[in-house]
A = this chain, B = another copy of it.
Amino acid sequence: MTVRPAVIVLDVNETLSDMSPMAARFAEVGVSGALARVWFATLLRDGFALTAAGDRGTFADMAAEVLRGLLDGEDLNRPLGHAVEHVMAGMAALGLHEDVADGVRELHQAGRRLITLTNGSSMVAKKIFGAAGILDVFEALLSVDDAPAWKPAPDSYLYAARVTGVDPSEMMMVAVHPWDIHGAAAAGLRTAWINRSGARYPAYFTPPEHNVTALTDLPDVLAHSA
């Protein structure tokens, strides 16, 4: 039996991992939890700026440096360096969204090959999946650390296609971030957007082929599509 798409490519940060506990980490060092959102948008903004300029950064180093810039001068309850460490430690302690373990198991049982592709590190992904007991369903945990560029540059997705040995058209990118859907589509992959929060999909990005509200909806959607 041929199942298409053959390979499901899952993003990691926010798509699989639940980053909502990061707000509490900010509050614990004495600043508003709302800064978590500014922090992550700024981190990606600067990471994409480097990508657009033909350069690259290392996700964890950039995350800590953006944090240092944001927290510097704020009324912290501990020294700046300790505050940065405390928030960053939260990234390694994240759990998965409720729908993830069941969703990836069902996709695996349906005969799909599963990989992850993150702008972060493979080691962090491995740690989170290991703790959640789902490491066995993934054929590979890929990071742009080994690709020519960060997502959403097309070369990042084409790197995943090379590693798995399939044509980009036989792969489906699954992500919560519209910029990831757009980049994957530009590289020739099929796409599914996970929209857990009822968000609007921005008009300036290529729309996804599939919209689901949880990863557990995806096996059924794929079973009924070409």
Residues of A within 8 A of B (CB): 32, 34, 37-38, 41-42, 44-46, 48-55, 57, 61-62, 65-66, 68-69, 72-73, 149-150, 152-154, 178-179, 182-183, 186, 198-200, 202-205
A81 vs chain B, min Cβ distance (A): 13
Specify which chain B residues have a CB less than 8 angstroms from the CB of A37 in the assembled complex. Answer: 38
A69 to B48, CA, bound (A): 20
Contact B200 A72 (CB under 8 A): yes
A66 to B41, CA, bound (A): 12
6 additional A-B residue pairs with CB within 8 Å, beyond A45-B48, A62-B202: A41-B41, A46-B204, A49-B179, A53-B179, A53-B183, A53-B186
Which of these, B48, B65, B154, contacts A202 with CB under 8 Å? Answer: B65
Q: Which 4 A-B pairs have the closest CB atoms?
A: A48-B48, A49-B179, A45-B45, A51-B52
Identical copies in the complex: 2
A62 to B182, CA, bound (A): 15
Chain B residue nearest to A202 (CB atoms) is B65
Contact A50 B200 (CB under 8 A): no
Q: Which of A48, A182, A199 has the most CB of B within 10 A?
A: A48
Specify which chain B residues have a CB less than 8 angstroms from the CB of A34 in the assembled complex. Answer: 32, 34
Contact B53 A202 (CB under 8 A): no
Contact B204 A69 (CB under 8 A): no
Contact A52 B48 (CB under 8 A): yes
A202-B153 contact in complex given A41-B41, A183-B52, C-beta closer than 8 Å: no
